[in-house]
Structure 1
Amino acid sequence: MSKYVLRETALHLLTRIGEQGGFSHVLLDREIKKQNLSPQDGGLLTEIVYGTLQRRDLIDYYLQPYLSKQKKLKPWVKWLLYMSVYQMKFLERVPDHAILHEAVEIAKKKGHKGISSLTNGVLRNVQRNETRDLNEISDLIERIAVETSHPRWLVERWMEQYGEEVTTNMCRANMQHLPMSVRVQPMRISRSAAIEELERDGYEVGESIFSEQGLIVSQGNILNHPLFMDGKLTVQDQSSMLVAEMMNLEEGLTVLDACSAPGGKTTHIAEKMNDTGQILAYDLHEKKAKMVSKKAEQLQLTSIDAAQADSRTLQDIHSGQSFDRILLDAPCSGLGVLRGKPDIKYHKKVEDIFSLRKIQDDLLEHIAPLLKEDGKFIYSTCTVDQHENEEAIKHFLNNHPDFSIDPDFVSDLPEPLQQSEGLSEYGLQIFPYQWDTDGFFLTRLVKK
């Protein structure tokens, strides 16, 4: 694919994601497959789209002095400027003159002479002049919001919950590339054998501290490797691998995974139990439940039964005290996964957190009775908001005296996590800057 067509494609995706709320990871993945892009072209397209989204507000701050206050830019022109400035300021291997030339050509083709002149003039100003100093912003919250391209309400909220240092570190981490991590299917290959094979093929890999099955891939596209294609490896963020590791699993248990799609945690549970016992995996959407079945098939796991159901109604299907272990990986605001899905931060509103919390409370309320006495219940989310995490658990425990936090929870964590600043009396909050992972919360409850 020519670099011109690649940038045109990036502009199309950015305008769609930025203006219509499409999911960046879904649209990118679809485009790369549709165009059958080489790893190099796919990598550059991903870099431009994610990088521009991650730094949208900072780039806008850089552009403001060169844009007329009266002129309202068409959305595609705005995104063309954003992606061009991103490449000029943050990508070293692409020369400015090439970026400028292609931006002007795209503007000519999509617009008229006035738009191509504006594009040329603005980008030449950006090229010639120093970038605008962030110290011009005296308000601390506003400065962090602009520097790290997070909405002001979110920075304010995190400041209230965690203070300046954690908030700043978290916002800055959300602008960094998230390393790929994978899990070995231990019944088909050991971690050491996988490392050996990958290193032989030129990949750079390291062991994860979160799971004895986890690998961090710092060099090489794992999706093209035979081990992945053959279902001996599956992609999963390290923080989410912690879930199955913390469930105290053993062979032959009956396990409920209440919100199971896309199936990463479900299949990990099956692997930890050597594909014995029974895992009942539910999802609200039939299409998503089918994804779980497909993932189990890819990894050659037979102990998983996936089906569509609203988990708030599972008491109509299962009698009380049916399960040895329950996982509720609850629907949440997703504010922990902004590194891999940067568009989330622009589309979420504070009200979403409160409406999701209602669903989390309902799920906890209706699923808890299905746990056997002395059973263990894991609650997890991929968010970093206390209202959805610690406060949800506190509320549940206040209303259910037969449940408590498992006293062995902390000592069962991998050793480096046992001293984490994210530990509270209600569970573990993992921040995205701590271990180069997604932001994630989990806790383990026991039924007395």
Structure 2
Amino acid sequence: MAKYVLRESALHLLTRIGEQGGYSHVLLDQEMNKRSLSNKDGALLTEIVYGTLQNKRKIEFQIQLYIAKQKKIKPWVKWLLYMSVYQMLYLERVPDHAVIHEAVEISKTRGHKGIASFMNGVLRNVQRKGVQDPSTIDNKVERLAIETSHPTWLVSRWVEQYGWELTAGMCTQNLKRLPMSVRIQPLRISRAEAMAELKERGITGKESVLSSQGLLIEEGRIIDDRLLTEGYLTVQDQSSMLVAEMMDLKPGLTVLDACSAPGGKTTHIAEKMEDQGSVIAYDLHDKKAKLVDDKAMLLQLQSIEAKQADSRRLHELHKNESFNRILLDAPCSGLGVMRGKPDIKYHKNESDIIALRNIQDELLDSVAPLLQVGGKLVYSTCTVDRHENEQAVEHFLQQHPEFEIDPAFAGSLPEELQDSVGHTEFGLQLFPQQWDTDGFFLTRMVKKH
């Protein structure tokens, strides 16, 4: 694929994501499939799109002096500037002259001579004079926010909740690419067998300490490997794998997964139960419930039944005390998965967190009666906000005295996590810098009476 066309693709994606709120990971996958990109071109396209999104706010600050006099810049011109500056500052293998030439050519094709001249002038200034340094900003919260390209309100909120050191570590880690991790289907292959077969194809990894089924891929391209495409492995972050590991599962249980799509945790539950018992999986959207069915079929799991429903109304479909275990992997702000979905940080605000918490409370209240006495409820999110996590659990326990945090929860965590800084009386908060995972929260409650 010609580099010019590749950069046109990157610009198209960035403009859609940045201006229309498209999901970076979804649009990038669609573009790569549509164009049948080689591994090398796919890697460069991914690098440009994710790298530009991850560093957008810093780049804006860095080139401020060169665009300040421009009254209005069209969205595509702005994103072409950002992605070109990203390549010049952060991608050593791409020569500046090539980046500038292609940006000017794209400007001519999409716009006119004036835009091309503006593009050339800004990028030549960046090349000759360098850029503005964020380290000169006096306010340390603002400085951290710009240096790591996070919204200032979010950095300020995290500092208030977790202190400076944890926040700075989290913001810095969010700029680093999330390593690929996969989970074996243990009814079909062992971890040792999977590692040995992958090694034959130049794909190496190491065992996860957070899940007995987890593998961290260190080298090689696994995304189109037969073990993945034929259902011997499934892609899942380590933090997400911890959920089924902590559900205290065994064969023969009846389990509710209240918010199940796309099915990573659902299928892990079935695997932990040796595909014996019943896993009833719901999602609000029919299309997403079908994704769960598709994943179960690929992994050759028979115990999963996926359906469409609003889980706030499951009492209309199931009698009270119908389930031995319930997983509520709640809809959340997603502030823990910004490494893989960097656009999240620009599309969320504090009001979203409040609105989502209302849904989380409703879901917890709705599924609680469906759990048997002695049964266990796991609540999880892929966010790092106390309001959605510890405070949601604390509120639930106040409203439902029949529940308590499972006294065995802390002791059943992997040994490496038992003294974690994120471990509180209400659950476990994983920060991305701790285990090179997504930011993630989970807890386990038991119904006493």
Asked if Structure 1 and Structure 2 have the same fold, meaning a TM-score greater than 0.5 normalized by the shorter chain, the answer is: yes
Query: Does the aligned pair in 1 maintain the 2:179–2:436 contact within 8 Å?
Result: yes
2:159 matched residue in structure 1:
159
2:343 matched residue in structure 1:
343
1:109 matched residue in structure 2:
109
- Secondary structure at the aligned position of 1:240 is classed as helix
Rounded to whole Å, the distance in 2 between the matches of 1:3 and 1:159 is 42
Query: Does the aligned pair in 1 maintain the 2:11–2:80 contact within 8 Å?
Result: yes
How do residues 243-282 of structure 1 correspond to structure 2 at under 5 angstroms? Answer: 243-282=243-282
Query: Does the aligned pair in 1 maintain the 2:195–2:205 contact within 8 Å?
Result: yes
How do residues 149-228 of structure 1 correspond to structure 2 at under 5 angstroms? Answer: 149-228=149-228
1:90 matched residue in structure 2:
90
2:360 matched residue in structure 1:
360
Whether 1:425 and 2:425 are equivalent positions in the alignment is yes
| Residue deviations 1:37-92 (CA, integer Å, cap 9, x gap) | 11111111011000000000100111111113342111111111100010111111
2:284 matched residue in structure 1:
284
- Secondary structure at the aligned position of 1:419 is classed as coil
TM-score by length of 1: 0.99
- Comparing 68-77 and 88-97, the one that deviates more: 68-77
1:43 matched residue in structure 2:
43
| Residue deviations 1:113-171 (CA, integer Å, cap 9, x gap) | 11111111111111122332222210111101111111111111111101111111111
Match for 1:358: what amino acid? N
Match for 1:101: what amino acid? H
2:231 matched residue in structure 1:
231
Count, aligned residues:
448
Match for 1:99: what amino acid? V
Rounded to whole Å, the distance in 2 between the matches of 1:227 and 1:267 is 16
Match for 2:353: what amino acid? I
Deviation at 1:270, TM superposition (A): 0.3
| Residue deviations 1:404-447 (CA, integer Å, cap 9, x gap) | 00111111011111110000000000011110000000000001
Match for 1:211: what amino acid? S
- Secondary structure at the aligned position of 1:434 is classed as helix
1:79 matched residue in structure 2:
79
Query: Does the aligned pair in 1 maintain the 2:62–2:134 contact within 8 Å?
Result: no
Whether 1:382 and 2:382 are equivalent positions in the alignment is yes
- Comparing 136-145 and 434-443, the one that deviates more: 136-145
Match for 1:394: what amino acid? E
- Secondary structure at the aligned position of 1:420 is classed as coil
Rounded to whole Å, the distance in 2 between the matches of 1:218 and 1:178 is 11
Rounded to whole Å, the distance in 2 between the matches of 1:3 and 1:131 is 25
Match for 2:421: what amino acid? E
Rounded to whole Å, the distance in 2 between the matches of 1:22 and 1:266 is 26
Match for 1:75: what amino acid? P
Deviation at 1:281, TM superposition (A): 0.3
- Secondary structure at the aligned position of 2:215 is classed as strand
Rounded to whole Å, the distance in 2 between the matches of 1:100 and 1:203 is 36
Deviation at 1:189, TM superposition (A): 0.5
Match for 2:251: what amino acid? E
Q: Percent identity?
A: 67
Rounded to whole Å, the distance in 2 between the matches of 1:396 and 1:171 is 30
2:127 matched residue in structure 1:
127
Match for 1:203: what amino acid? I
- Comparing 127-136 and 423-432, the one that deviates more: 127-136
1:394 matched residue in structure 2:
394
Match for 2:137: what amino acid? I
- Secondary structure at the aligned position of 2:306 is classed as strand
Match for 1:215: what amino acid? L
Match for 1:392: what amino acid? A
- Secondary structure at the aligned position of 2:319 is classed as coil
Where do 4+ consecutive residues of structure 1 move more than 4 Å?
none
Deviation at 1:222, TM superposition (A): 1.1
Match for 2:138: what amino acid? S
Rounded to whole Å, the distance in 2 between the matches of 1:227 and 1:77 is 42
Match for 2:413: what amino acid? L
- Secondary structure at the aligned position of 2:205 is classed as strand
Could you list the runs of 5+ residues in structure 1 that have no partner in the other structure? none
1:56 matched residue in structure 2:
56
- Secondary structure at the aligned position of 2:433 is classed as coil
2:442 matched residue in structure 1:
442
Rounded to whole Å, the distance in 1 between the matches of 2:238 and 2:322 is 30
The alignment's C-alpha RMSD in Å is 0.8
Rounded to whole Å, the distance in 1 between the matches of 2:149 and 2:69 is 21
Query: Does the aligned pair in 1 maintain the 2:423–2:429 contact within 8 Å?
Result: yes
CA change 1:304–1:13 in 2 (3 A) is same
- Secondary structure at the aligned position of 2:326 is classed as strand
- Secondary structure at the aligned position of 2:307 is classed as strand
2:369 matched residue in structure 1:
369
Deviation at 1:204, TM superposition (A): 2.1
